[in-house]
Structure 1
Amino acid sequence: MMRPDVIELRKFYHSHLGGVVRRALVRKIRHLWPDISNFRLLGLGYATPYLFPFRSETERTIAFMPAEQGVIQWPHEGPGLVGLADEVSLPLGDSSVDRVLWVHGLENCRFTDATLHEIWRVLTSSGKLMVIVPGRRGVWARLEKTPFGYGYPYSDKQLKRILRQNHFTTSDVAGALYFPPSGARMNLRAARFVENLGERWWPGFSGVRIIEAEKQIFALSEGAKKERRFRPVIAPAARPIGAGRSMGRDASESD
């Protein structure tokens, strides 16, 4: 399955359109997770643009990016908090994180069940997963000009089914990105207004679907325990060759 590489993702979030997308989704994340004080937060896929606003609140915030995508340094200042990892074998202990944010991941995932099992393993007993994925009925999934145009878009029913099949209890699905995937100045200026209209009048036609799921407790089989006995060592992140300097404060914070 074709997926955008880390350079394409970084370039998108440095664009004006990417900045508007980031702010729109951060508002949604904040609405669903209003208080994550002293929690351990893990970002998967390419979640770093959405992690920065929460770093000062959490006990710790880290991110893993899949090998097929690549990895870049984050944050720009201070110790690195991101690394390259196998999605089906995360280098974390059991019940070691409280919240997982999965962005630009599920729609491109080759081993969905195995990855969700691994997310389930590293979450605490009261841990929660938030998935942001392109919506099947939205226009964003139909155009490859943004990272949301890659992979397999999901309907609400499909999202809930795959999470329940992998031992998560789900809540209602929310939408975001009702404005068109265009960098035109008028479109970006009207984005907040269109978002409010979309939420009220056509909630099922958003560009992305957002769902929160809670870990369902059950006993692991002996076979599953054996499969997860060994964990690889995390590979440190490095800057991509040819990557330029940050493009302003907002862009550097979003990497």
Structure 2
Amino acid sequence: MDLPGPWDMLSAMNPSDAIRDRQDLRAWYATPPGEALRAELRRYAASVVPQLFGYHALQVGDLGESLDMLEGSRIIHQVSLSLTPPAQVLAQPRALPVQSDTLDVVVLAHVLEFCSDPHQVLREVDRTLVPEGHLLIVGFNPFSLMGLRRLFAGRGGMAPWRGRYYSVFRIKDWLRLLGFDLVACVPAGFRPPLRGAGLLRRLQFMETLGARFWPYFGGAYVILARKRVATLTPMRPRWRPRRRLAAGLASSGLRRQGRG
């Protein structure tokens, strides 16, 4: 896997805004509601990531800690990429400095919400993943208490509220168009994004009830997808011997033998 040094952070969006969003998102994950959500996300990742094998893993974005979504992975070579330190590589997600068909696992941690071209980011992931490679997407759900809080904050608020949230259904459609097979989709974060740590602990029961009775309204989700292997369909030759002509030749030969 070829990962050169820090790239220039060139984008259609203002680089300073993108950097500020990432810094604000890290700061939010250090608050009580962010820590509660991160615990739920990491609990799922801890049950799935160790089952994903390969040689190279890349995490784009983070939840406030370096490579936290890849914790427990058996893949030795793990690289973090973001717009700001402490990532190992500074680069834009829409132009990954990675050779094609190289990565076995890619994690997108709140990347699609805060980029100007999410389709290009997914195309880059498709380009760099090996066949049967896995993609893990962490995103905020617009149809949730998090999404409702975002509406009140408006576009001028801080991250995570100023991001553009995409529904699970839309992400699934994008992945299908790129040729990914959906493996799993797990919701998380059913508690309201309140600042009180004690109140959040008392509302822990909402995580169990939400996952069971209203799974589509979790504050965040984790989508696990697998890159489909492109198979070659054998083509039958169009040429076929003409049976009528062959039969005619055979009968003609028989008649000639009979006359002789």
Determine if the TM-score, normalized by the shorter chain, exceeds 0.5: yes
DSSP 3-state at the match of 1:102: strand
Letter in 2 for 1:8: D
Range that drifts further, 9-18 or 86-95: 9-18
- The answer for the alignment partner of 1:90 in structure 2 is 96
Letter in 1 for 2:181: T
Q: Are the aligned partners of 1:104 and 1:132 in contact in 2 as well (CA < 8 Å)?
A: yes
- The answer for the alignment partner of 1:236 in structure 2 is none
Q: Does 1:62 align with 2:43?
A: no
Distance 2:202 2:133 in 1: 36
Which among 14, 27, 43 is matched to residue 11 of structure 1?
A: 27
DSSP 3-state at the match of 2:183: strand
- The answer for the alignment partner of 1:180 in structure 2 is 192
Letter in 2 for 1:129: L
Task: Give the helix-richer structure, 1 or 2.
Answer: 2
Q: What percent of counterpart residues are identical?
A: 26
The Cα shift of 1:201 comes to 1.6
The Cα shift of 1:169 comes to 1.7
Query: CA offsets per residue over residues 141-172 of structure 1, 9 Å max, x none?
Result: 23247744332222232121111122222234
- The answer for the alignment partner of 2:85 in structure 1 is 72
- The answer for the alignment partner of 1:170 in structure 2 is 182
Query: CA offsets per residue over residues 208-228 of structure 1, 9 Å max, x none?
Result: 122111112349xxxxxxxxx
DSSP 3-state at the match of 2:97: coil
Which protein, 1 or 2, shows the higher relative CO under an 8 Å CA cutoff with sep ≥ 6?
1
1:148-227 to 2 correspondences below 5 Å: 148-218=160-230
Distance 1:152 1:31 in 2: 28
Range that drifts further, 161-170 or 51-60: 51-60
Change (3 A) 1:38 1:191: farther
The Cα shift of 1:11 comes to 1.7
The Cα shift of 1:8 comes to 1.2
Distance 2:229 2:77 in 1: 24
DSSP 3-state at the match of 1:49: coil
Q: TM-score, normalised by structure 1?
A: 0.71
TM-align CA RMSD? 2.6
Letter in 2 for 1:59: I
Change (3 A) 1:179 1:196: same
- The answer for the alignment partner of 1:131 in structure 2 is 137
Q: Which runs of 5+ in 1 are unaligned?
A: 75-81, 220-255
DSSP 3-state at the match of 1:72: coil
Letter in 1 for 2:38: R
The structure whose Rg is larger is 2
DSSP 3-state at the match of 1:22: helix
Distance 2:51 2:225 in 1: 16
DSSP 3-state at the match of 1:10: helix
Provide the aligned length of Structure 1 versus Structure 2.
Answer: 208
Distance 2:142 2:31 in 1: 24
The Cα shift of 1:34 comes to 4.0
Q: Are the aligned partners of 2:105 and 2:133 in contact in 1 as well (CA < 8 Å)?
A: yes
DSSP 3-state at the match of 2:26: helix
The Cα shift of 1:22 comes to 1.6
